[in-house]
A and B are shown apart, each in its own frame.
Chain A
Amino acid sequence: EAAVTQSPRNKVTVTGGNVTLSCRQTNSHNYMYWYRQDTGHGLRLIHYSYGAGNLQIGDVPDGYKATRTTQEDFFLLLELASPSQTSLYFCASSPGLGVQDTQYFGPGTRLLVL
């Protein structure tokens, strides 16, 4: 079973604050993804990567940066957090076929921006 971990699990910040969400996968998957989940919208893709140093833009990238430092680690950065970024964030990874393969999800990070 693929293992994807996320930290922190819960985060509260203020408008304009700086937040980093971390994701680590230990299954040597090439692809990693950041999604946000909001009621009525399902999951929306923010950024994804197919390897260390690579970054691809998803559907809702505005206000987010991401960095893939190693094959295992993928970070999501909110440099000036806004209340509209209050959400449940999921990281996922998948093996060689990328989006056309099973994605393994982390436990999620709940972010509240006051």
Chain B
Amino acid sequence: GEKVEQHQSTLSVREGDSAVINCTYTDTASSYFPWYKQEAGKSLHFVIDIRSNVDRKQSQRLTVLLDKKAKRFSLHITATQPEDSAIYFCAASIRSGSWQLIFGSGTQLTVMP
């Protein structure tokens, strides 16, 4: 079946540095790529998304890049802060009968003071 792979299970950075989380996907028809954040012991909430008609989207300190040829997308966080520490999940839309979101396995980002 179609997959979304998140290659880093953990990532540690120093406060103020940048963090990059990478994902790949297999379905060439995927057109929607959201990112969700899960803080310790909490639920998930949406942080940013990108659609396949663009290759870059920025929202404050977050930027998502999409490389459709390589079937790869990434989340870039600049000027990291301790409150950025969380698990980040990437996801991609796939067509399996009807449309579904497939999530990656998550990356635990730790921002060290």
Asked if A95 CB lies within 8 Å of chain B CBs, one says no
Number of B residues, CB within 8 Å of A: 26
Q: State how many angstroms separate the Cβ of B86 from the closest Cβ of chain A.
A: 14
Known contacts A42-B103, A98-B99, A105 near B1 by CB under 8 Å: no
Chain B residue at smallest Cβ distance from A108: B43
Chain A residue at smallest Cβ distance from B2: A59
Give per-residue flags for A37-59: 1 if the beta carbon is below 8 A from chain B beta carbons, else 0.
00011111100100000001111
A72 to B65, CA, bound (A): 35
Known contacts A41-B105, A42-B106, A44-B103, A102 near B49 by CB under 8 Å: yes
Asked if B20 CB lies within 8 Å of chain A CBs, one says no
A106 to B44, CA, bound (A): 8
Chain A residue at smallest Cβ distance from B9: A40
Question: Are A99 and B93 in contact, with the CB atoms below 8 A?
Answer: yes
A58 to B96, CA, bound (A): 9
A108 to B98, CA, bound (A): 25
Asked if B28 CB lies within 8 Å of chain A CBs, one says no
Chain B residue at smallest Cβ distance from A56: B98
Question: Are A105 and B43 in contact, with the CB atoms below 8 A?
Answer: yes
Known contacts A42-B106, A45-B101, A59-B1, A100 near B44 by CB under 8 Å: no
Q: CB-CB < 8 A to A103: which residues of B?
A: 34, 36, 46, 101
Residue with the highest number of chain A CB atoms closer than 10 Å, among B31, B49, B96, B100: B100
A43-B89, A100-B93 given. 12 additional CB < 8 A pairs? Answer: A42-B89, A42-B103, A43-B44, A45-B100, A45-B101, A56-B97, A59-B1, A59-B96, A98-B99, A102-B34, A105-B44, A107-B42
